[in-house]
Amino acid sequence: MKKIGTLGILLMSAILASAQMKQGKIVYERTSKLNIQVSDPAFANMMPPERKEKFELHFTDNKTLWRPVEEGQEPEMNFDNGGAQIRLVMPGSNDIMFADISSKRKVEQRELFTKTFVIEDSIRSFNWKIGQETKTILGYPCRKATSQRTQQATRVNMDNGVMKREQVIDTVNVVAWFTDAIPVFAGPDIYQGQLPGTILELDVNHGRSTYVALSVSQDADVKNIKEPKGKKISPQEFAAEREKMMQEMEKNNGGGNFNIRVGG
């Protein structure tokens, strides 16, 4: 008899569990560590060590919708120190993502400065290793999976009113806990269509950002699980628009006598 690997067994388990929950809503809390270095001690004392935000994932018929909770959360934090100011914008705070997991396709609505973009792309699978470690989250039995990838990141430095950007290669280590008792290959944020089940807890780079499921229910907002409206552009077109806006911001930035670095 041909041997069936761990991934194959989990895929079969997810299919067998499909009668348990075909639609639902999961509320997550995202905690982001604010690794911000500021040369002005007054500013440094004003910076909180982390930021917490809530999001919800709605799913039905192998389609998902990721969005911020409706209670509203400000995507930015502003700090003032006698005239010099820092405006810290949290990426992804107001983003919306629709994913069709069956066709490996996603459409994102992303805010960048004062503009809104709708980006169409494919769902790219990360390289996962599924281990034997287990734990229970919200009553659901979960398995541990790990992944590592590299991506290009931007570090921003600002000194004496001059902004400088540096492109670096960032290594991303991810630990996910997923359950096949919720038979949708879904998860928080970009982690749709990754594992044979639903991710209920996720850690990126040893706590740099974490997602924890707070509740699971069958109260899916089914009528709104659809693509964001607007003219669709490609990821390459969005990257070009972002670069143009960043260059404009560099040209127009001013003031301040501090150094700031955001990121790992």
Phi, psi of 199 (to 5 degrees): -80, 125
In a domain, 262, yes or no: no
In a domain, 190, yes or no: yes
In a domain, 158, yes or no: no
CATH number at 129 reads 2.50.20
Most confident segment among 74-83, 112-121, 188-197? 188-197
For the residues of 107-163, what is the DSSP string, one character each? EEEEEETTEEEEEEEEPPPP-EEEEEEEEEETTEEEEEEEEEEEEEEEEEEEETTEE
In a domain, 164, yes or no: no
> Could you report the per-residue pLDDT of 37-84, keeping only the tens digit for each?
555 565 556 666 678 899 999 999 999 999 999 755 555 555 555 555
256 pLDDT higher than 80: no
As for how many domains the chain has, the answer is: 1
> Could you report the per-residue pLDDT of 221-248, keeping only the tens digit for each?
999 999 999 999 999 999 999 888 877 7
Whole-prediction pTM: 0.78
189 pLDDT higher than 50: yes
In a domain, 42, yes or no: no
**pLDDT band at residue 168 using 50, 70 and 90 as cut-offs:** confident
What is the percent of the chain with per-residue pLDDT over 90, rounded to a whole number?
A: 53
For residue 62, the SS3 value is coil
Least-confidence region, from 207-211, 214-218, 252-256: 252-256
What is the token pair recorded at 227?
Answer: 């693509």
Look up the domain containing 132 and give its range.
Answer: 6-31+52-145+172-233
Provide the pLDDT for residue 79.
Answer: 52
In a domain, 90, yes or no: yes
In a domain, 133, yes or no: yes
> Could you report the per-residue pLDDT of 1-48, keeping only the tens digit for each?
444 455 454 544 444 444 467 899 999 999 988 766 555 565 556 666
In a domain, 129, yes or no: yes
260 pLDDT higher than 50: no
What is the token pair recorded at 19?
Answer: 């009668």
Number of other residues whose CB lies within 10 A of the CB of residue 250: 14
